[in-house]
Amino acid sequence: MNDQSNLRSPLGRVRGLGSAKDGTHHWWAQRLTALALIPLTIWFVGAVVSLIGADHAAVAAWIASPVVAGLLILLIVATFYHAALGLQVVIEDYVHGEGAKIALLLFVKALTIVLSLSAVLSVLTLLFTRA
Amino acid sequence: MISSNRPLSPHLQVYRPQITSTLSILHRLTGIALAAGTLLLTYWLVAAASGPEAFATAQGLIGSFIGRLLLFGWSIALFYHLCNGIRHLVWDAGYGFEIEAATRSGWMVVGASVVLTLATWALGYAMMGGA
């Protein structure tokens, strides 16, 4: 690599971290959650199709099985983590006003935390009240 | 500027759309749409945990014409993002960067998303007995 195309200072290269100070963590987390979501998503879509026409008791009983509840929680966590990372990049790319950018980033972070927590607690409620 | 030999991003107004660039922005757009779709996932789980009445309301909304239209949009967005995400993971592993390979894998992704979406809905309607 020649000096012209290298944007990193020697110190930055030694530390191995970029300007965000977390190195490749964002990139790697986005890929790991993507990988986890391949089987989880296929499983969930298949399950939802098989639940078509099922009433509340049948759906609640399905969610209340420990394996299903566990997979659902993994799906929820991976989905919201992946979505938060992806939306963060979109906001950083297209929102240029510093104030609006920070406000949107915090809003997305807060929203994904609230939604994922609500979803996980719903699964746990069904797991512990229906067992 | 010393970094004149660095690659430039395509200038959208003068850049002819190609299958590769179109699918690239579609990956982002479907990602944003799916992030919005997590609202539905959360609502469905919260309704299931809240009881039969809340769940019946949720099922009624999802089963309505508008609900099914949204669900269809989300399902094709999901399958597209899933298939194209696998394409991205293959690129991350270092394969498929030749122009012909990227074009071919792009059309494969389009075909697979359409087939998977239609197959899922055909299966869903078959489950309902054609209702």
Which letter does DSSP use for residue A8 in this model? S
Region label for A125, one of left (φ > 0), alpha (ψ between -120 and 50) or beta (otherwise)? alpha
ipTM summary value: 0.89
Rounded mean pLDDT of chain B? Answer: 93
Q: Decide if A76 is inside a domain.
A: yes
Confidence of residue B17 (pLDDT cuts 50, 70, 90): confident
In B52-125, beta strands by DSSP E: none
Inter-CA distances, B38 with A50, A55, A96, A111, A116, Å: 20, 22, 26, 11, 9
Q: Decide if A32 is inside a domain.
A: yes
Q: Decide if A53 is inside a domain.
A: yes
CA–CA dist A29, A48 (Å, integer): 27
Total domains in chain A come to 1
Three-state secondary structure string covering A40-103: HHHHHHHHHHHCCCCCHHHHHHHHCCHHHHHHHHHHHHHHHHHHHHHHHHHHHHHCCCHHHHHH
Q: Decide if A72 is inside a domain.
A: yes
Interval A64-77: pLDDT, tens: 999 999 999 999 99
pLDDT of A19: 66
**Tell me, what CATH number does A100's domain have?**
1.20.1300.10
- Residue B76: count other Cβ atoms within 10 Å of its Cβ: 19
CA–CA dist B6, A103 (Å, integer): 32
B→A interface, C-beta within 8 Å:
2-3, 5-6, 28, 31-32, 34-35, 38-39, 41-42, 45-46, 48-49, 51-52, 55-56, 75, 78, 82, 85-86, 88-89, 92, 120, 123-124, 127-128
CA–CA dist A57, B62 (Å, integer): 18
B-chain CB neighbours of A61 within 8 Å are: none
Interval B42-73: pLDDT, tens: 999 999 999 999 999 999 999 999 999 999 99
B-chain CB neighbours of A59 within 8 Å are: 48, 55
B-chain CB neighbours of A116 within 8 Å are: 42
Confidence of residue B6 (pLDDT cuts 50, 70, 90): confident
pLDDT of A17: 72
pLDDT of A1: 44
Boundaries of domain holding A49: 21-130
Closest approach of chain A CAs to the CA of B26, in angstroms?
13
Phi, psi of A64 (to 5 degrees): -75, -5
Confidence of residue A3 (pLDDT cuts 50, 70, 90): low
Tokens for A55? Answer: 């009433």
**Contact residues for A56 (Cβ-Cβ < 8 A; gap 6+):** B48, B51, B52, B55, B56
Q: Map out the domains of chain B with their CATH numbers.
A: 18-126 (1.20.1300.10)
